[in-house]
């Protein structure tokens, strides 16, 4: 069979466009004259309007023929488009959305996604006891090995932390506290509560602006219960504890609130009302000497102040009674993550 030659239309401006889109694939047993009906574009009247004439002249091999083809005999052009042409026209170098997402996921993002899935699975009422235990085990393992996520595993810590005196607690520097009060994290944090755990005479003698004074276990627990109805793990309400040096009273109250929070939400672990808590490193004293203007009144009264020796004995005696009931059960408590 002689080679097929493409004869394009009289108007040379449309020649490259039409010829590139057509592939001539006549049946090997068919008559060569039938090729006219194969390559004739549909709705030929379009070309009459656009180019002023009807393309009906074609050349096959060395011969030529002219034919006025009826509209109804013309077959759809799309059936004869080259596969390669279709691919070049409609393909794209852009990666699929799911592939791009996979490539852009960082290890931390993947861990958070896994944690979110585990949290959702734990809170579903329809899951079996076996599945629930497995999900809890997974979350305990993750929280005990990943220090980048907050205590319910739902997201990363918002504030930059430092290595403080207490390895089980997240500590921030006085400068970070200054940034928080100055509003540097307002776009990331919905609410901040600073909890001053010093005795009342210390607090009244000078404290960080906006701080509240909670110095007993009962006061801390009441604060937790009060906010439990309006608080949730998804809301960014962070707490910052401190005392004079953040070496004893502040850390104790921090741990006490976390313990009570875990107990309050024991049926839906790892949910917490306050999953993101920090400790002000070196306490009020360090902050006072670096950021005096953010203290009210602008003064610092130490715990061992000579004018408050009687107050000190009173609050120390109370503190012994506060912890007396906790010592017997402290050995049986399981620390999950603070």
Which residues are catalytically annotated?
A: 243
Q: How many CB atoms lie within 10 A of CB 72?
A: 5
- Between β-strands 171-172 and 277-280, what pairing exists: parallel, antiparallel or unpaired? parallel
- Between β-strands 207-208 and 295-296, what pairing exists: parallel, antiparallel or unpaired? antiparallel
DSSP type of residue 80: G
**297 prior amide bond cis, ω within 30:** yes
In the chain, what is the straight-line distance between the N-terminal and C-terminal CA atoms, in Å? 84
CA dihedral of residues 34, 35, 38, 43 (deg, nearest 10): -90
The answer to whether 106 touches 71, Cβ cutoff 8 Å, is no
The Cα diameter of the chain in Å comes to 121
* Coil/strand/helix, residue 280: strand
């Amino acid at each position: 069979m002689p080679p097929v030659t493409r004869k394009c239309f009289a108007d040379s401006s449309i020649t490259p466009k039409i010829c590139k889109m057509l592939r001539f694939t006549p049946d090997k047993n068919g008559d060569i004259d039938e090729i006219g009906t194969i390559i004739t574009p549909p709705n030929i009247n379009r070309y009459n309007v656009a180019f002023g004439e009807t393309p009906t002249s074609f050349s096959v091999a060395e011969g030529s023929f002219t034919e006025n083809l009826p509209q109804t005999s013309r077959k759809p052009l799309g059936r004869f488009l080259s596969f390669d042409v279709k691919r070049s026209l409609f393909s794209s170098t852009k990666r699929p959305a799911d592939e791009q997402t996979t490539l852009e996921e960082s290890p931390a993002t993947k861990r958070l996604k896994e944690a979110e899935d585990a949290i959702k699975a734990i809170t579903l009422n329809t899951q079996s006891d076996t599945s629930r235990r497995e999900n809890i085990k997974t979350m305990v393992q993750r929280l005990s090995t990943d220090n980048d996520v907050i205590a319910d595993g739902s997201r990363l810590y918002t504030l930059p932390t430092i290595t403080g005196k207490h390895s089980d607690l997240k500590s921030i520097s006085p400068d970070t506290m200054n940034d928080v009060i100055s509003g540097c994290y307002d776009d990331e944090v919905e609410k901040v509560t600073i909890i001053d755990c010093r005795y009342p005479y210390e607090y009244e003698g000078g404290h960080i602006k906006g701080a509240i004074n909670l110095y007993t276990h009962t006061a801390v627990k009441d604060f937790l219960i009060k906010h439990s109805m309006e608080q949730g793990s998804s809301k960014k309400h962070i707490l910052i504890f401190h005392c004079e040096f953040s070496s004893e009273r502040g850390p104790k109250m921090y741990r006490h609130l976390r313990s009570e929070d875990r107990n309050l939400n024991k049926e839906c672990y790892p949910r917490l009302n306050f999953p993101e808590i920090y400790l002000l490193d070196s306490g009020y004293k360090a902050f006072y000497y670096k950021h005096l203007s953010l203290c009210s009144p602008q003064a610092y009264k130490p715990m061992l102040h000579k004018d408050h020796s009687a107050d000190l004995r009173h609050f120390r005696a109370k503190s012994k009674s506060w912890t007396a009931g906790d010592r017997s059960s402290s050995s049986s408590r399981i620390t999950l993550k603070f």
